Homo-oligomer: A and B are copies of this chain.
């Protein structure tokens, strides 16, 4: 029962955060959304920041699980017999999918990037978010590079950072402008990386 209450508050915070944004969300708003007294949130969380960090982490979970499930043993090296290019293609498809499925998460994400710029606690949560997600990209990148005839000049990390950046830069454009065609941009990114990986241009063939 007690932890259920804590969960209710975190969920309420996430919903309020997505709806209103960090600075427009008050502790009272969250308490009202959770259906508890205004003081209770401070029983579970010392400060507003602490609660919101928990809410961010909670909000990231489903998207992270999607990558984990897609990657199977992504945490270790890719399986010996796996096709790295297939993984890469799948990664881009997953990106297109998560942008649609978790649009609200990315609204929250870019809000938190802004907040984190001047708020160390949020900054730390944001950095964890970046690191974890970039790790997925790096894992796939590693596999792809291993399969390349001529290894690239750039390091795995640099390439992963570039691709992670592109993906989130595309998410950003979508979040700031709903009529932006994110799928086309991701397909373009896919086409470019595939050309890079194979040494020649080759159209990306979307799975879906």
Residues of A in contact with B (beta carbons under 8 Å apart): 20-24, 107, 110-119, 123, 126-127, 130, 134, 150, 152-155, 157-159, 161-173, 175-177, 180-181, 184-189, 191-193, 195-196, 199-201, 203-204
Q: Is the pair B111, A111 in contact by a Cβ cutoff of 8 Å?
A: no
Chain B contacts for A158, CB-based, 8 A: 181, 184-185, 187-188
A118–B23 Cα distance when bound, in Å, is: 9
How many copies the complex holds: the figure is 4
Quick one: which of B118, B119, B153, B169 contacts A169, CB cutoff 8 A?
B169
In the assembled complex, the CB of A53 is this many whole angstroms from the nearest CB of chain B, namely 15
A113–B106 Cα distance when bound, in Å, is: 12
Chain B contacts for A185, CB-based, 8 A: 158, 161-162, 165
A165–B115 Cα distance when bound, in Å, is: 20
Q: Is the pair A154, B114 in contact by a Cβ cutoff of 8 Å?
A: no
A130–B172 Cα distance when bound, in Å, is: 10
Q: Is the pair A176, B126 in contact by a Cβ cutoff of 8 Å?
A: yes
A181–B157 Cα distance when bound, in Å, is: 9
Contact A165-B169, Cβ < 8 Å, known A111-B114, A113-B113, A159-B192: yes
Q: Is the pair B176, A113 in contact by a Cβ cutoff of 8 Å?
A: yes
Q: Which 7 A-B pairs have the closest CB atoms?
A: A114-B114, A165-B169, A154-B188, A166-B166, A21-B118, A169-B169, A158-B188
Chain B contacts for A180, CB-based, 8 A: 161
Q: Is the pair A173, B191 in contact by a Cβ cutoff of 8 Å?
A: no
Q: Is the pair A155, B184 in contact by a Cβ cutoff of 8 Å?
A: yes
Q: Is the pair B203, A200 in contact by a Cβ cutoff of 8 Å?
A: no
Q: Is the pair B184, A157 in contact by a Cβ cutoff of 8 Å?
A: yes
In the assembled complex, the CB of A199 is this many whole angstroms from the nearest CB of chain B, namely 6
Most central of A23, A112, A159, A188 by chain B CB within 10 Å: A188
Q: Is the pair A173, B165 in contact by a Cβ cutoff of 8 Å?
A: yes
